[in-house]
Structure 1
Amino acid sequence: MKLFKKMFLITLASLFVFAGCSDNIDEPERNNNFAAGTDFSKTEDMILSIVGVYEAYQSRGWEQPLLTSVRGDDVNSGGLGDQQDFTETDKFNYNKDYWMYNSLWENVYVDIITAHTAMEQIGRYQEFADDAGIALGEQYIAEAKVLRAIMLFDISRVWGDVFITESSDTGALLDVTELPTQTEVMQHISDQMDEAMPFLPDMRPNERVDLPGGVTLYTALAIKALANQELKDYQAVAAATSQIINSDKFSLYSDFYELFKTPGKLSDESILDMQYSDFGLGAGEPNEAHLYAPYGPQNWTPAVDGSSSGWGFYEPSLKFIKFMLDRDETVRLETSVLFTDRGIAEIQSDPAYATLPAWISNTTRDGDIINDYARAFFASGKHYLPSNQLITGRTAYGSNKNYMVIRYAEILLMHAEALTQGGTGSGLTATQAVNLVRDRAGLAPLASVTLDDIIDEKFAELGMEWGKRYYDMLRLERYSELSYDGRTFSPDKAFLPYPQSQVDQFPILD
C-alpha cells in the first residue's frame, strides 16, 4: 500500500493537476507510467491494483467531508477560526477561490482517475490469468466501479453537473463539449452499479476475509438506491432497499453510542466504511488514520492524560439539539453532541429549555470533560472517540476510528421514504422500517408513519453524517428548513461554484 501510494497516486495527482497545460495529455501511454514498470504476468499481484483504489478512496483530506456537509441545518462551522470562507460557506456565501473547494474537486477526481487506472491495470493482468484469475479480476473491476461511483455521487451532490470520466486519460476532459447534468450523473451511477453487481460477493462487508470491510453486492445496491433517491425514482429505491433488507444479512448494532466508536467497527450495520487502524501499535508504522481533529473540541480534559484535543471546526446546531430534546431523545442526542457548560447555558437561555434532562453534562460517559472554548458551544459526538479507547501510546484525536459512510439504518429509512413516495417494495412496511430504527433509539413505536415522520427520523438518526440532511432538504425542496439562525437559503445556493482554478483549466465549467 505504501509503495502504491507513493509511486501511483502521486503520479496521478501530478498528471491531473497539470492536465490543463501539459502537451503530454494526448499520449495515453505517458499517462500510465506506473504500469510501465509492472510485470502483469505476475497475476498474484493483481490485488495490489484494487488495494490502491481502496487506499485512494480512504485518503480523504480532513476538509473534504466537512465541506460536503457543513451547509445542513444539523451542523454549523466553528466560528473564530482561520478558515473564514468555511464559515461563510455554512452561511451560503461562496468564494470560488477558496482552497477547500479546489481541494475537494481536485482530490476526488484524482481518486476517480486512480480507480480507472486500476481497472485498466487489472485488465492487463487478466490477459495472463487463468479462468479463476479472470473471474477475480472482474470482481476487482466491479469493486473499483463501486468506489468510483460513491466518489462521483458525493461530488455531484456538491456541484450538480460534473464530469463523467470514462478512462484514466485525463486529457479527454478537455474535449468535453457539454457537461453532464446531475440527472445524467446519477443515472450513470445507477447503471454502473447494475454492471458491477453480478461480479460482487453476496455477503456483508464484514464477512469478507480477503479484504475485510470491502465492497460487496449490498454496497452497490445501497449506492444505486442513493443515486435513484436523488433522481426521485422511488420505485428503483424501493427495489434496491428491499433486496438489501430481504437478504437478512444486516441488522442494527444494538448500542447506538458504541456504534460510532471502536466496538462498532465493521458491525453488521456497516455497508460502507472508510477504514483506519493503528494496528494495535502504540507508535510508528503501520498506521492508517483520518484527521479527526477538526471535529473535536478545542479544549477538553481527557480521561487519559496526554490525549490531544481538536480544532472546534464542526458544531452540532442548536436547532438540531432542540429538535432532539423535543423528541425526548437520549442515546442519539448523547451520541451526536458533546456539550460544554457554555453550550448548556446557551440552551437554557431559551425559557422553553430552562430545565434540561439530568444526564446532559459536559462530561461524557467515558469520563472526558468537554471544557468551554471560543469557537463553538458544542462538538460532534459522532466523530468522537473516547480517550480511553485510544491505543495506548497514541494521542491524536480520534486515532484508530473508522469513518462510516453508509449504514443499514439509512437503508431502512430510505426504504420507508420510498414507500411513502409511491414506490412498491417488500420485506418491511414503511412503519416497520422506521420502528426498527426507533426501537434501537429507545423510542416508542409509531402506529403509522407519514413522510414528515420519516424525514424527522432521518434528521434524528443521520444528523452530522456526510451532509445527508442538507441533501434531503434540497431533494424535497424544503428550503425553509435551511434558513435558520440568521442564514438565508435560496435554491440558487444549492450548489457550490466551480473552483476558479478548475475553470481556468477546463473552460467548459465556466
Structure 2
Amino acid sequence: MKSTIYIQCLLLVCGLYLTSCDNKLDEDAELRSYQNDIDYASEAGAYGALVGAYETFQNVGWEQIPLIAVRGDDVNAGGLGDQQGFADTDNYTYDNNFWMYNSLWENWFQDITQITSQIEQLELYRDGGVNSSLIDQYIAEAKTLRGFITLELSRVFGDVYRIESTDQSEITVETKDDLMQWISDQMDEAIPNLVNLHPNQRTDIPGGITKYTALTIKAMANLELGNYQAVADATGEVISSQKFELYDDYYQLFKIPGKLCNENILEIQYSDFGQSSGDNVAHLFAFYGPQNWTAAVPEATSGWGFFEPSTKYIKFMLDRGETIRLETSVLFTDRGIADIQTDANYATLPDFVTNTTRDGDIINDYSRAMFTSGKHYLPSIQLTEGRTDYGTNKNYTVIRYAEVLLMYAEALTRGASGTAGSADDALNMIRTRANMGTLSGVTSDDVMDEKFAELAMEWGIRYYDMIRLGETSELSYDGRTFTMDKAYLPYPLEQLDISPILDEYNNQNN
C-alpha cells in the first residue's frame, strides 16, 4: 500500500506495516495475481492483507451513510441545495439514475469484492506456511466486515449480490431473507476464530473486530428475519461478557472523549495525529453540519446543511421530557426554535433549547434547514489547533452497546427467553444514563420508543425498524405518504446497464 494511506484502527501503532506493504496489495484488490512477487510465507504480509480489508472498510464516502439514513422519520434532507435526488429520496420519490444510488451500490460492492480478494490472499498465506490459526482469525475479521456491508446494502436495496468469491461466475443475487441468513451463518463461522476482547483491548489493531462485533452483526441480521431467539442469544452473550458498558456522558460519547470508549462495538476511526498540519485521515462531516455558524474557534469552517433532525423527532423528545439526549442529538437555530413555538403545545421550551451549544458554538439561521445533527457535530474547541474543517478528527460511530441492549430487550418482549437479565434491566440501563425514570413491565412499544430516542440519526436504524415491523403510519409524516412498495431503493440504472445478472433478476421480479 502507498505510504500515504493510513488505516483507521492502525493509525498510531501499525505505521511500519503500512509503509512497508507492497503496492501489489492494492493491485490484488483489482483481482490481479502477482503470486511470484509475494512472499506467502511472510506473517507480516498476511497482516498486510488484513490491513487491506480494514482500509477498504474505512474508505466510506461522505454520501453513502446519509443515503442509508435519510428516509426515517427522525431525519430530513436539508433542502434548497444541489442534491435534489437526495431530498426526493427523503420524500419516497426515487430516481434510479440519481448518482448517490449508484455510488452506494458500486463503491460498497467493490469494497465487498476487495475484502473477498483479501480473504483469498490470506488463504495463499496459509498455503505458504503462515500459522493457520492466525489466518483463521484474519479471515474471520474480513468476513465480519463483509457481512456488515452486505447487511446494510440489503437493508437499502432488498435483494442484492451475495459475494463469496472473486470468480464472477459464482456471484448471485439473493433475496433479503436469504442474505440475512447467510450473514448469520457467516458470523457463526467467524465467531470461534475471533479474539475474546473488547475492541479497544486489542493491541495489534486497536478498535478492530472481535467476537462481539460478529455476535452483534448476527443479532442485527436475525432481527431483520424476526428470529428473536437468535437475537436474544447473540446479544445476551455480548451483555454477559461484561466487557461493555454505557459511556457515562451521552453528550461526549459522540465527540473526541468517546473515541474507542467501552460502549463502542464498531467505529470508523480517523485522526489528524494531534498535529496542526500534515497527514489527516478524516471523514467529510461537513455534509451534516450547519451551513452557517459562529464558532467558538473563529477559524472553524461550517458545514453544508444537508442533514436535519425532524420536527416530529424533536416534539417526540420534548413530550418525553428528554434532556441530555435531545441536547446532544439536535442543534437548534433561532428559526427552528420559533417554528416549534408556533405550536401552542411547545410555546415554552426548556432552557437548553437554544442556538448556542454548551461549548459556545452559535448555530445561525441558514436556508437549507432549521436544525442540524448534534451526533455528527464536533465542538470547534475540540478541534486540534490549526485544523479548521468541520468535524475533522471525529470518529464515525457504527455500532454501540446501547443498540445491543435494545435489541436484547426487544427480543424478550417479542417472546424470546434471555440469560442476561430482563427486558426491564436492559432498557433501564439506557434510561438511567439519559436521566429518565425507570420502567417496569416493559413492552415492545416501550422498546421501540426508546430506540427512537436513543439511536436517532444513526445509520437509518429507525427507518429499518419501521420497515421490518410494517409501521407505515410512522413513516407517513410531515406531508409524506409511505407505502411498503417504497421500502427499498430501486437498483441503480447504471448497474442494470452493465450487469446482465442484475438486469435479468430485476426483470423477473418486476
* TM-score bin, normalised by smaller chain: over 0.9
Aligned equivalents of 2:416 and 2:500: distance in 1?
40
1:2 aligned counterpart, secondary structure: coil
Question: Match of 2:251, as an amino acid?
Answer: Y
Question: Match of 1:356, as an amino acid?
Answer: L
Question: Match of 1:500, as an amino acid?
Answer: L
Q: Determine the structure 2 residue equivalent to 1:128.
A: 128
Q: State whether residues 361 and 379 of structure 2, in contact with CA within 8 Å, keep that contact through their aligned partners in structure 1.
A: yes
Q: State whether residues 35 and 121 of structure 1, in contact with CA within 8 Å, keep that contact through their aligned partners in structure 2.
A: no
Structural mapping, 1:241-280, within 5 Å: 241-280=235-274
Q: Determine the structure 1 residue equivalent to 2:167.
A: 169
Q: State whether residues 40 and 129 of structure 2, in contact with CA within 8 Å, keep that contact through their aligned partners in structure 1.
A: no
Q: Determine the structure 1 residue equivalent to 2:299.
A: 306
Structural mapping, 1:153-168, within 5 Å: 153-168=151-166
Aligned equivalents of 1:35 and 1:264: distance in 2?
42
Over 3 Å counting, the alpha-carbon distance change for 1:160 and 1:56 in structure 2 is: same
Structural mapping, 1:46-65, within 5 Å: 46-65=46-65
Deviation at 1:88, TM superposition (A): 0.1
Structural mapping, 1:283-302, within 5 Å: 283-285=277-279, 287-302=280-295
Aligned equivalents of 2:352 and 2:466: distance in 1?
31
Deviation at 1:215, TM superposition (A): 0.3
Q: Does 1:186 align with 2:180?
A: yes
2:496 aligned counterpart, secondary structure: helix
Question: Match of 1:40, as an amino acid?
Answer: Y
RMSD of aligned residue pairs (Cα, Å):
1.5
Over 3 Å counting, the alpha-carbon distance change for 1:236 and 1:472 in structure 2 is: same
Structural mapping, 1:328-347, within 5 Å: 328-347=321-340
Q: Does 1:323 align with 2:316?
A: yes
Runs of 4+ in 1 over 3 A off after TM superposition: 1-13, 33-37, 170-173
Q: Determine the structure 1 residue equivalent to 2:466.
A: 473
Aligned equivalents of 1:376 and 1:34: distance in 2?
51
Unmatched segments (≥5 aa) in structure 1: 16-30
Question: Match of 1:253, as an amino acid?
Answer: Y
Q: State whether residues 200 and 262 of structure 2, in contact with CA within 8 Å, keep that contact through their aligned partners in structure 1.
A: yes
Q: State whether residues 7 and 34 of structure 1, in contact with CA within 8 Å, keep that contact through their aligned partners in structure 2.
A: no
Q: State whether residues 28 and 118 of structure 2, in contact with CA within 8 Å, keep that contact through their aligned partners in structure 1.
A: no
Aligned equivalents of 1:428 and 1:34: distance in 2?
53
Q: Determine the structure 2 residue equivalent to 1:25.
A: none
Deviations 1:372-417 (A, max 9, x none): 0000000000000100111111111111111111110000000000
Q: Determine the structure 1 residue equivalent to 2:14.
A: none
Q: Determine the structure 1 residue equivalent to 2:103.
A: 103
Q: Does 1:397 align with 2:400?
A: no
2:308 aligned counterpart, secondary structure: strand
Q: State whether residues 332 and 370 of structure 2, in contact with CA within 8 Å, keep that contact through their aligned partners in structure 1.
A: yes
Deviations 1:326-350 (A, max 9, x none): 0010000000000000010011011
1:405 aligned counterpart, secondary structure: strand
Pick the aligned partner of 2:403 from 395, 398, 410: 410
1:410 aligned counterpart, secondary structure: helix
Deviation at 1:58, TM superposition (A): 1.1
Instruction: Give the TM-score taking structure 2 as reference length.
Output: 0.93
Pick the aligned partner of 1:361 from 354, 362, 370: 354
Q: Does 1:224 align with 2:218?
A: yes
Q: Determine the structure 1 residue equivalent to 2:9.
A: none
2:266 aligned counterpart, secondary structure: strand
Over 3 Å counting, the alpha-carbon distance change for 1:100 and 1:11 in structure 2 is: farther
Q: Determine the structure 2 residue equivalent to 1:239.
A: 233
Q: Does 1:379 align with 2:377?
A: no
Over 3 Å counting, the alpha-carbon distance change for 1:337 and 1:84 in structure 2 is: same
Over 3 Å counting, the alpha-carbon distance change for 1:283 and 1:414 in structure 2 is: same
Aligned equivalents of 2:161 and 2:148: distance in 1?
14
Aligned equivalents of 1:129 and 1:300: distance in 2?
57
2:358 aligned counterpart, secondary structure: coil
Q: Does 1:196 align with 2:190?
A: yes
Question: Match of 1:135, as an amino acid?
Answer: S
Over 3 Å counting, the alpha-carbon distance change for 1:497 and 1:309 in structure 2 is: same
Q: State whether residues 439 and 445 of structure 1, in contact with CA within 8 Å, keep that contact through their aligned partners in structure 2.
A: yes
Deviation at 1:325, TM superposition (A): 0.2
Deviation at 1:34, TM superposition (A): 5.7
1:86 aligned counterpart, secondary structure: helix
Question: Match of 1:252, as an amino acid?
Answer: L
Q: Identity of aligned pairs, percent?
A: 59
Q: Determine the structure 1 residue equivalent to 2:450.
A: 457
2:160 aligned counterpart, secondary structure: coil
Q: Determine the structure 2 residue equivalent to 1:504.
A: 497
Q: Determine the structure 2 residue equivalent to 1:41.
A: 41
Question: Match of 2:255, as an amino acid?
Answer: K
Q: How many residues align?
A: 487
Deviations 1:77-130 (A, max 9, x none): 000000001000000000000000000000001110111111111111122335
Aligned equivalents of 1:499 and 1:183: distance in 2?
21
Over 3 Å counting, the alpha-carbon distance change for 1:279 and 1:36 in structure 2 is: farther
Out of 42-51 and 139-148, give the one that drifted further. 42-51
Unmatched segments (≥5 aa) in structure 2: 6-21
Q: State whether residues 216 and 404 of structure 2, in contact with CA within 8 Å, keep that contact through their aligned partners in structure 1.
A: yes
2:97 aligned counterpart, secondary structure: coil
Pick the aligned partner of 1:442 from 405, 417, 435: 435
Aligned equivalents of 2:104 and 2:24: distance in 1?
19
Question: Match of 2:152, as an amino acid?
Answer: D
Q: Determine the structure 2 residue equivalent to 1:139.
A: 137
Deviations 1:149-182 (A, max 9, x none): 0000000000110110121234544xx4xx3100
Structural mapping, 1:25-36, within 5 Å: 31-33=31-33
